[in-house]
Amino acid sequence: MAGIHARDAFRLMRIAGVILAGGQARRLGGGDKPLLSIGGSTMLARIIAALRGETAVIAINANGDPARFATFNLPVLPDGSFAGQGPLAGVLAGLDWAATVGADVLLTVPGDTPFIPHGLAGALTPAPACAASNGRVHHLVALWPVPCRDHLRHMLSVPGSRAAVRFTEQIGMRVVDFPAGKWDPFLNVNTAEDLTTARSLARPRGKDMA
Find out whether 56 and 15 touch, Cβ atoms under 8 Å: yes
The yes-or-no verdict on residue 130 having pLDDT over 70 is yes
Contact 58, 17 (CB under 8 A): yes
Other CB atoms closer than 10 Å to residue 91's CB: what's the count? 27
Percent above pLDDT 70 for the chain: 86
List the domain boundaries for the chain.
6-177+186-201
What percent of the chain has a predicted confidence (pLDDT) above 90? 76
Question: Once rounded to an integer, what is the mean pLDDT over residues 120-148?
Answer: 96
Distance CA 124, CA 113 (A): 17
| pLDDT for 1 | 42
With 80 as the cut, is the pLDDT of residue 9 above it? no
Q: Is the pLDDT of residue 201 over 70?
A: yes
**What integer is the mean pLDDT of 39-56?**
93
Q: What is the pLDDT of residues 71-97, one digit of tens each?
A: 999 999 999 999 989 999 999 999 999
* Cβ-based neighbours of 146, under 8 Å, separated by 6 or more: 95, 98, 99, 103, 104, 105, 106
Class of the CATH-defined domain 6-177+186-201: alpha beta
Going by pLDDT thresholds of 50, 70 and 90, the confidence category of residue 182 is confident
From 152, 18, 159, select the one nearest 78 (Cα to Cα): 18
The reported pLDDT for the residue numbered 52 is: 93
pTM of the model: 0.89
Angle, vertex CA 88, rays to CA 46 and CA 98, nearest 5: 65
Residue 204 in this model has a pLDDT that exceeds 70: no
Q: So what's the pLDDT on residue 183?
A: 84
Please compute the mean of the pLDDT values over residues 104-129 and round it to a whole number. 96
